[in-house]
Structure 1
């Protein structure tokens, strides 16, 4: 018996110039072939949309190949096996994988990772706090920026999925003060009331360079950068000697069509013996076991909380495009996921 024998998926129709629009994407439905030996078919419960995907829409060399025109987009997803011709995965198993932006995925079993369903925790958490999002925050703090007990930490874009995870992890690992920036007064309030940040500010209300010294009067020792641009410049002003920066993202420039001006205070890197280090997660997956060992109990005990913005695309996979565009406009609080089943 064939189950879910078609797949509706989103393709890249044209490369965006500046901000993406609906016209850069198209949706198609295809018939899936019968399973070959070793393959499984998965109904995606949730798909992820993430800022890094914007970079992959450009035809430029980067740490990961660009999306191909007229080919299905990919990204994180989680769902259940509905048909299997593999001894490794059985019907009903929950799995994560990278065949998102579609409602049904089919591939060799080695492209899927079985996960345990945790009572009371939505399966979508494996796309966020229990997945690459949380692991990114962990690696950036622990491995890239070498967080030390007593550090004062600043996280930009702190209401996003990685940012909110980074702030909470920093606090649990002994940071003396955690400061965050966000794009609205409501998000700022949430950072302090829900995520345990000691201080936060709205980067749209006044220049970051004016607000950060007020939020961190004694300076900062560690900056977790999701934004770049004016945030990085402001951080270079207040980083204490031997400060460290984990360069995780630069969303402020993702949709720019002209080169951005660099910080005017880079001499501070030399004067204060600062260390700036960029990273992408692929080289650090060996840290996953330590991360899962820590995050599982934190999540179960309520020491870590997570927000999700869930876009309902059941019956309309094309709504994934709107979710992605909304993410780039900052319409999410926490992880943005798309419910596809």
Structure 2
């Protein structure tokens, strides 16, 4: 007997704008009719969607200049998702059964312009790997920091979605020594044991300079920074002549309950920047449109050869998504966090 398609679907809305970090109480799950695609549109049944810290900025009041629109109270959340086309409108180049990625996660069914969908293909062995943040790590390490054989690389926030891939990628690019940072001793051990980090510093109430000096007695050549703040300052002090810094995130400000998610002030020793000839650049994928395809090919090859893994956690069910976002802010998970929805 053929399966009868559902007539309604669920989506997660921002119910109330928080005064600090959002929690589950700021979201609600609403039920809507399954959308009907118009010309050039498709309806995608989502299987996975990404839980990512950028939602903090989009929900907060400092989203100006972001490439994505701000989320107001009453709006449906969104973000990278993987799913399967279930219906297609007239003229759509996709059809039922096609697996795609798009940016309308946080709902069971998404009405998307077919032009805004990317077919998955078979480059990656697991569809959920399309939700990795590895392209940012790879792009920053190849386009800005330009990792060279023999480099010592320092990755801040190494247990996060970017950092768990940045360290292994830096090694594959020729780094001799890879150092990470995380606030969890348990995660520090996993970074060493599972991902091949040579050393991990664990920031505490005081400066991490002594830990970083012990981990990199000759200094660092490359910084891939996802945190900012005190850790960025410590990296400046540890930098060797001609060090290259690539800034990918600023979690110290983004996840601060005292800020609105769109600023992360840091006081940096500019004399040290000048004297050591340190280059410092922020990475944006929009500035490097060729990176994603290049990364995806390498990622697929490295996954199949076993040279790299994709650390991630799958949170089952739409109902658990708001709690998963809070857990991400609290640093409870290792690697990328995705919500997994049932196939039907």
Quick check: TM above 0.5?
yes
1: CA distance, partners of 2:44 / 2:298: 29
- Provide TM-score, normalisation by structure 2: 0.91
Unmatched 5+ residue regions in structure 2? none
Query: In the TM superposition, what whole-angstrom CA distance separates every residue of 1:284-336 from its partner, at most 9, and x where no partner exists?
Result: 222222222322111110001121111111xxx24211111110111111110
> Does the CA contact (< 8 Å) of 1:15 and 1:57 recur in 2?
yes
Relative to 1, partners in 2 of residues 1:18 and 1:33: Cα closer, same or farther, differing over 3 Å? closer
1:173 matched to 2:176: no
2: CA distance, partners of 1:256 / 1:145: 31
Question: 1:111 — aligned with what?
Answer: 116
2: CA distance, partners of 1:246 / 1:118: 27
Tell me the CA shift for residue 44 of structure 1.
Answer: 0.8
Relative to 1, partners in 2 of residues 1:227 and 1:288: Cα closer, same or farther, differing over 3 Å? same
Question: 1:152 — aligned with what?
Answer: 152
In structure 1, the residue corresponding to 2:290 is in which secondary structure? Answer: helix
In structure 2, the residue corresponding to 1:143 is in which secondary structure? Answer: helix
Map 1:1-341 onto structure 2 (within 5 A). Answer: 3-60=5-62, 61-64=64-67, 65-85=69-89, 86-117=91-122, 121-128=125-132, 133-204=133-204, 207-254=207-254, 255-257=256-258, 262-263=266-267, 265-313=269-317, 317-341=318-342
Number of residue-to-residue matches in the alignment: 333
Relative to 1, partners in 2 of residues 1:57 and 1:176: Cα closer, same or farther, differing over 3 Å? same
1: CA distance, partners of 2:154 / 2:6: 46
1: CA distance, partners of 2:115 / 2:4: 21
> Does the CA contact (< 8 Å) of 1:6 and 1:104 recur in 2?
no
- Provide TM-score, normalisation by structure 1: 0.91
Relative to 1, partners in 2 of residues 1:274 and 1:95: Cα closer, same or farther, differing over 3 Å? same
Tell me the CA shift for residue 127 of structure 1.
Answer: 0.5
1: CA distance, partners of 2:39 / 2:5: 16
* Structure 1 segments of 4+ aligned residues over 3 angstroms from their partners: 204-207, 258-261
Relative to 1, partners in 2 of residues 1:221 and 1:118: Cα closer, same or farther, differing over 3 Å? closer
In structure 2, the residue corresponding to 1:230 is in which secondary structure? Answer: helix
Unmatched 5+ residue regions in structure 1? none
User: CA RMSD for the aligned pairs?
Assistant: 2.0
